[in-house]
Structure 1
């Protein structure tokens, strides 16, 4: 149970995903070590934190992120769909999220792209990370290998990781060729032997997206280096509380949060 907890798009089970409300709620959980966020570019080149390629599902607006300006997206409500108490939440810029979490949590920043959808995405994201002096505190991940290769070319010091929902036989060799030190993998494709092999080769695995206690416990038993990416950090915390915290003298200070 030494596994690190990653809040998927923030505390997205309770708050609107990829918003300041979700991030702040996750930051209040003692067991959250990382945030996982998604970054795209507006039409005028501003890196914004949103998952879908369109704004339709999570905002009051319509259209594709790449076709809208920052001001147009900023005017949309990104919280009301989750509940009236979140009315007025906005799509944040990457700058705002970096400023919010600096020194408190680390960031898994997914470069949300496909092919050549966002020319310059890697450069703009790296520029903002460097502006906040947060290079050691982030990992850039993507389903798109070309985005990871471009990021490493632009900034050899940055940690990168492939996102994949499969386990092809050549996966480890592919990760090495891309210079990955991180692997974001659908949790059903991970086992103890592969987790150990990744660890021996300097690659940290993150299992996504895990919301039930049984799966969390099974992954924790596989290997202590497996990071648990979840919409429900409270579920992970409850598991920790029940199994580990009774042996820790200061556990009571956290107990009330999970009720």
Structure 2
């Protein structure tokens, strides 16, 4: 039997029940992908992060209940929190190597952790009619796209009032980030995930890879304050550095435990 440490962390929050929860499992070596997926399904969180220590840092991967994904901000923040708080890691900077987006760096300053992520440029597109229908939108400022759709609205109030038909978004084949200028922040956002187990993501670090460059250019700023206005909500300190973005948040541990895998469950 193999015992694997298990942590559940509320990322982008300084309190329990805020931000976005992620499961985190440090591994001694990589298990088969099928086992990692079954574990993520058992945890039933939006993402489970797995990492393995290497000579130069850590290898990091993220799984939803449906499969491996190419980038996850909140689970990266949660992983860094576990390493800094529980694994006797003496440095103030962690280097993660990933399969799809290269090296990611997380640094610590006090209670705040800063993700160094790639910046994603967006381009204007003519919106599919289905996108507007599913969001229930009659008016919008502009529609852009990178990995996900980026829908820009005029006011925070308009964003808060959205009640989208998540199921109707499935044929679009993309996630949908909706954003607007903030009343008390530089910008606010919401993130919808058709086809995933969590219909609206509470706080989405990866979406800020495109939000930060967009609003940085629009506002003429390199440093900004952002909030994702989901039911749980989360605050981010943001900085645009050309082809990289920095996003800072706090994290709170909710559960520490163990996963037990028998011999036949390891392959």
TM-score of the two chains, using structure 2 as the length reference: 0.25
TM-score of the two chains, using structure 1 as the length reference: 0.25
Question: Would you tell me which structure has more helix in proportion to its own residues?
Answer: 1
